[in-house]
Amino acid sequence: MVESLLAIGIIASIFVGFNIGGSSTGIAWGPPVGAGIVKKTTAAALMTFFVFLGGWTVGRNVMDTLSEGIITIDLTLTAGVAVLFFIGLGILIANIFGVPVPTSMTTVGAIAGLGLATDTLNYATIAEIVSWWIVTPIIGFWIGGIIGRYIYPEINRRVQIEKSNGPLLTLGGDGTIPKPTFGPNTTWAELGTTVVVLVIGCYMAFSAGASNVPNAAAPLVGGVGGLPDDTAIIIATLAIGFGGFTIARRTMESVGGELSDIPLLAALFVMVTASTITTLLSWIGIPISLVMATVMTIVGIGWGRATRPITFREAVTRDTGEPEIVPGAITAEEMEGKPAAPIGEEEPEEVLKAGDLFNPRAIMKYISMWIIGPSVSTVLAYGFFILIPGIA
Amino acid sequence: MLSRILVPMDDSEHASHALAYALENHPEADITVLHVVGVPSMMMGEAVGLTLEDDISEAAAERAEPVFERAREVADEHGREINTIVGIGHPARNILDRAEDYDTIVLGAHGADWSRATRRFLVGNVAETVSKRSPVPVILVH
């Protein structure tokens, strides 16, 4: 009985891990793959390794929260398997209807529903988690806002991300020892960029492991007949890696495709911010959705940039690709019949306003979309465990 | 006699049908195709990408070009010329803001990819919203 239950649990866990692998590989590696800096297979391999690293180290703190923090008793294997089914259901709904369902939040919602139904909910812990969930998007949005408003435009002016044709490095050398040399068109700047992009992708993979491995692993470790932590982490990693090598080929284009509408430099800022938020929270044992941290940072950047008044300096240097026409920039614009907007004020009506893309109402609607998923999972799990009390 | 017609188009097949309908049934009219870019999406990729551009108008025009190209092909088949305008943000709001300048609006009853719940939640049913709130008559092409 316990064996077959465990087998069902492992299958459910693999399903969950597989899907997590698909979506988080898309987010972590979509931009670099889209920019042609990394191959899909390389991305999947790096993903698997760093997900394992994140799950094995920081992820354990989140696992503890999930399996023994949210509810006052240990999560039993039966209940764990039921919780996995709710996580899987959330993923299915996300896949079929194309709605964002943050997995980490669904997991907590399902376990909290179980706690409510069996009267074992640890209110102090859940209150702490929920307050982080409220604060984190605000932090992400705010950091994104600062980046979009002040940092990105400055850096963007100075940094050029390039990708030349031909291989980055080739193996050459005259003797018996092969010596890597630059490819035909490689420059130091390009090599540097590639290294930075790779490091950031690995960092995001690490944070994906820290926050997401526990979702697939924690439900399996509890109670009599459950798996040891290490085994569960390895199974979850393999499932995520499997997803990374298979369905991520598609998600790197769909999720990553949306991300690659954003300039790579901005995407790198998003990745660093979201990974840092996710890793830090996972470190203190708070389950947090990497996807949610990512989108809040993205929206923050958009908002920060959209609400940015036009400064004098920018008004002067705007639209001037060639340095030689900088001194006459304002005159040149006027001659084209395009009067420059008064400094710091709204542009004339026929010019499109970024504010239309990020008005407060649209942002609120957008954020609310991310709250629906976990709320529904709590209610569903509560109903389920009330109706079928034997499971818990 | 309808002299100024607004045809809002997305990248769907229905949008092309709507344009073809307008061209066929109103041979004398001035037809303007509106395409909205930077529409809200699950990760807000296009919208954020647009705001980060130095010149939003230019970037928006560039992104709208494939749709306009298709619109021009349809117009060519009818031996006609069309005007084009680009909007950004919310499609229905863009259409309604401009509605007053036209005698009628012709649009496809179904937009692109309505099965995606995110899009439905963030963008809504454009045809429905427009036909409900428009100050000028709206023709929905099925």
Q: What mean pLDDT comes out for the span B45-62?
A: 89
pLDDT band for A332, please (50, 70, 90 cuts). Answer: very low
Nearest CA of chain A to the CA of B39: how many Å? 8
| Residue A249 pLDDT > 80 | yes
Percent of chain A clearing pLDDT 70 (strictly above): 81
| Residue A315 pLDDT > 50 | no
What letter represents residue A73's amino acid?
I
Nearest CA of chain A to the CA of B103: how many Å? 21
Give the pLDDT confidence score for residue A334 in this predicted structure. Answer: 38
Give the pLDDT confidence score for residue A350 in this predicted structure. Answer: 55
Mean pLDDT, chain A, whole residue set: 83
Q: What mean pLDDT comes out for the span B63-69?
A: 94
CB contact under 8 A, A98 and B42: yes
What token pair was written down for B84? 């084009």
Handedness of CA A75, A79, A85, A90 (dihedral sign): negative
| Residue A390 pLDDT > 90 | no
| Greater pLDDT, A64 or B115 | A64
Give the pLDDT confidence score for residue A98 in this predicted structure. Answer: 75
| Residue A135 pLDDT > 50 | yes
Q: Phi and psi of A321, rounded to 5°?
A: -65, -40
Give the pLDDT confidence score for residue B1 in this predicted structure. Answer: 60
Q: Among residues B50, B84, B43, B88, which one has the least CA distance to residue B65?
A: B84
Residue in chain A closest to B89 (alpha carbons) equals A357
Nearest-angstrom CA–CA distance, A199 and A205: 10
Residue from the list A263, A319, A369 with its beta carbon closest to the beta carbon of B52: A263
Chain A residues with beta carbon closer than 8 angstroms to that of B121: 99, 365, 369
| Residue B138 pLDDT > 90 | yes
| Residue A159 pLDDT > 70 | yes
Give the pLDDT confidence score for residue A341 in this predicted structure. Answer: 44
Q: What mean pLDDT comes out for the span A15-20?
A: 94
Chain B residues with beta carbon closer than 8 angstroms to that of A294: 43
Give the pLDDT confidence score for residue B44 in this predicted structure. Answer: 86
Percent of chain B clearing pLDDT 70 (strictly above): 94
Interface A–B counts its CB contacts (< 8 A) at 105
What token pair was written down for A263? 């300039």
CB contact under 8 A, A356 and B52: no
Nearest CA of chain A to the CA of B3: how many Å? 23
Give the pLDDT confidence score for residue A178 in this predicted structure. Answer: 59
Residue from the list B42, B89, B90 with its beta carbon closest to the beta carbon of A100: B42
Nearest-angstrom CA–CA distance, A162 and A185: 11
Mutate to test the interface with A, among B34, B41, B52, B54 (most CBs of A within 10 A): B52
Mutate to test the interface with A, among B51, B58, B116 (most CBs of A within 10 A): B51
What residue segments make up the domains of chain B, in order of their start?
A: 4-141
| Residue A346 pLDDT > 50 | no
Q: What mean pLDDT comes out for the span A376-380?
A: 88
pLDDT tens digits for range A67-120 = 889 999 888 888 999 999 999 998 888 878 777 788 999 999 999 999 999 999
Residue in chain B closest to A256 (alpha carbons) equals B45
Which of A266-270, A387-391, B30-34 has the lowest average pLDDT?
A387-391
The tally of CA atoms less than 13 A away on the side-chain side of residue A333 is: 16
B52 touches chain A (CB under 8 A): yes
ipTM computed for the complex: 0.85
pLDDT band for A339, please (50, 70, 90 cuts). Answer: very low
Give the pLDDT confidence score for residue A158 in this predicted structure. Answer: 84
pLDDT band for A164, please (50, 70, 90 cuts). Answer: low
| Residue A321 pLDDT > 60 | no
| Residue A172 pLDDT > 60 | no
Nearest-angstrom CA–CA distance, A367 and B66: 31
Give the pLDDT confidence score for residue A116 in this predicted structure. Answer: 93
Chain A residues with beta carbon closer than 8 angstroms to that of B57: 351-352
Residue in chain B closest to A27 (alpha carbons) equals B43
Which A residues in the span 333-392 are in contact with B, Cβ-Cβ below 8 Å? 351-354, 356-359, 362, 365-366, 369
- In terms of Cβ atoms closer than 10 Å to its own Cβ (0-12, 13-18, 19+), residue A165 is exposed
Q: What mean pLDDT comes out for the span B11-40?
A: 92
> Residue A111 contacts by C-beta under 8 Å, 6 or more apart in sequence?
A66, A70, A71, A75, A83, A381
What token pair was written down for A78? 């039966």
CB contact under 8 A, A369 and B118: yes
Residue in chain B closest to A264 (alpha carbons) equals B49
Pairing of strands B104-108, B83-88: unpaired
Give the pLDDT confidence score for residue A358 in this predicted structure. Answer: 83
Residues paired with residue B105 on neighbouring β-strands, in sequence order: B6, B138
List the CATH code of the domain at B4-141: 3.40.50.620
Percent of chain B clearing pLDDT 90 (strictly above): 63
Nearest-angstrom CA–CA distance, A214 and A289: 12
Q: What mean pLDDT comes out for the span A356-385?
A: 85
> Residue A58 contacts by C-beta under 8 Å, 6 or more apart in sequence?
A206, A209, A210, A279, A282, A283
Q: What mean pLDDT comes out for the span A368-379?
A: 84
pLDDT tens digits for range A180-233 = 666 666 677 778 888 999 999 999 999 999 999 999 999 999 777 789 999 999
Give the pLDDT confidence score for residue A311 in this predicted structure. Answer: 55
